Structure 1
């Protein structure tokens, strides 16, 4: 085989391999948080006829054990039969989960934060057309020695009405990984941090449920963290 032919084939193979790596890498990043979930969401104030807004959080996130940094995608959707009108999405952190930044949104003043929260951002979503959604990239930190919660209220632009609220929703793990590079967290799971100086797992969440061994082993490959918004009235139940 001539050296030119060898060079051509080698170059083609390298190009093909490089393309494959790019495709696989892109897929892995895109699928890292799993599908969006409305877990912990509930309707609040009655919206105009035909208007139905909801939110989604990833089913799982991953926390860097050395920096405590994590990334969360928050999505607001219009599932109604009419345009949403001018709305806004709030992203609020509680306990061990602190929202550091939400791309395209404005940080809430400390005096405006909901009681018990440590951080919050206001995202002016505007008017969502029927069937449309808008997603926001959330940068946060998660103290794995504590529980962590996040909340996504969807309000009118003036904040006088809350149409929808996803929260309180915890992110956590029943199987901490202190010696691993990162700890996967699942949405809707109370965090069970490792006790200082030992490997006992004290209960730190509101619930006491533990994932079945088989389910936990598969689900905790990649996971998630969530929040709370105090509203002093009973949520309207959807039927």
Structure 2
């Protein structure tokens, strides 16, 4: 199983900053049940999942996108169904393709250089502890380009480390029957979106000059590592099964 993961050494100062800022923000996460049914579809435990702490996440089975503004809201829930408290954990909310995460209450944006490969946006929510049998819900603001497909991913790691204990997604939201003339478009979890509306033309391909295929991407990757100073976080993704 390929999971969303990070490798390499993270900047201690950066992690400390994120933890300090998030923990001092007003508490906007809540434990109340959301009226929309939730689902852990597309989720599975990570290699660092402890035996007595059963961490899972849930996404609503249905969301609604405003056709004019392309705005939507999502409730992301993290649960501890185990028999012991979780201790410090971090929930991340990451957007892919046509789905862009614009805000998560009480959480900090993930810097662009540290986003998972292929993603366009993300927020990190540091949780000091999640007691056994408890859950927390986070209100997520997002946009969804209905001319594209869109996915969301919820990885959970131990503390501010890179040890993955759970990951949901990247799982798609979508509509199999678009409603371009309606004010809103309902999207279902686990459904690939069927784009509608005027399709954006593909970018014109520039004349190829310089090194052969494969050389330039590797060179750019090496340059990125140098710019980040060796503290970059590399992620890989898996498709929904």
TM-score (structure 1 length as normaliser): 0.68
In structure 2, do the counterparts of structure 1 residues 150 and 176 end up closer, same or farther at CA, with 3 Å as the change threshold? same
Match of 1:189 in 2: 191
Equivalent of 1:88, from 78, 87, 90?
A: 90
Map 1:133-212 to 2 at 5 A: 133-194=135-196, 196=198
Match of 1:224 in 2: none
Match of 2:6 in 1: none
Equivalent of 1:39, from 41, 46, 53?
A: 41
Match of 2:4 in 1: none
Shift of 1:156: 1.0
Shift of 1:126: 1.7
Shift of 1:196: 2.7
Unpaired segments of 5 or more residues in structure 1? 1-29, 198-228, 234-239
Is contact 1:58-1:73 (8 Å) kept? yes
Shift of 1:160: 1.8
Write out per-residue CA displacement over residues 100-134 of structure 1, whole angstroms, 9 at most, x where no aligned residue.
Answer: 00000000101110010000000012211000000
1:111 is paired with a residue of what secondary structure?
A: helix
Match of 2:124 in 1: 122
Is contact 1:61-1:186 (8 Å) kept? yes
2:75 paired with 1:70? no
Shift of 1:168: 1.6
Is contact 1:125-1:134 (8 Å) kept? no
2:113 is paired with a residue of what secondary structure?
A: helix
Unpaired segments of 5 or more residues in structure 2? 1-33, 200-233
Shift of 1:195: 5.3
2:120 is paired with a residue of what secondary structure?
A: strand
Cα distance in structure 2, aligned partners of 1:195 and 1:56: 31
Q: What is the Cα-based RMSD across aligned positions, in Å? A: 1.8
In structure 2, do the counterparts of structure 1 residues 144 and 121 end up closer, same or farther at CA, with 3 Å as the change threshold? same
Cα distance in structure 1, aligned partners of 2:237 and 2:107: 26
Shift of 1:49: 3.0
Cα distance in structure 1, aligned partners of 2:39 and 2:117: 25
